[in-house]
Amino acid sequence: MEVNTVAAAVVTFSSMATIAAALMAASVASTIATIAYAILAITASAVSIASITAWIHKDSVDSESYFNNLGEHIKYAIAGVYQIVAQTLVQAVVKGIGDGISTALRRKIAGPDITVKKEAIRV
């Protein structure tokens, strides 16, 4: 088969898998299922990225060379995507810790938060 036909099919199906997994992660109620679908969505997006980079690779002249390149590109894409996810999670944890320390210091200096109750006006 021609490399463009094969690559277009792989890109399309991997994109559809990414979208389906992301929608499932957003719609399920269970935390475990959300995490599982999120991992599937992240992996599928890496495969989608790899399928595109393998397609534009200079050695992808036929379907066999495309799939050989795809295997190599998938390794790097999955590692790269999960590194981005890991860095994002670390940044979120650091920000959360910083916000917690900031709030604790503010409350120590200014005292506890004051909440004002709004009461309904009766006529």
11 closest CA partner among 70, 59, 65: 70
pTM above 0.75, yes or no: no
Could you report the per-residue pLDDT of 35-44, keeping only the tens digit for each?
A: 999 999 999 9
The Cα–Cα gap between 38 and 61 comes to 34
Q: Are 46 and 73 in contact (CB under 8 A)?
A: no
Could you report the per-residue pLDDT of 47-93, keeping only the tens digit for each?
A: 999 999 998 888 888 888 889 999 999 999 999 999 999 999 999 99
37 closest CA partner among 53, 54, 20: 20
Rg (alpha carbons) of the chain, rounded to whole number: 24
pLDDT-based confidence at residue 1 (cuts at 50, 70, 90): low
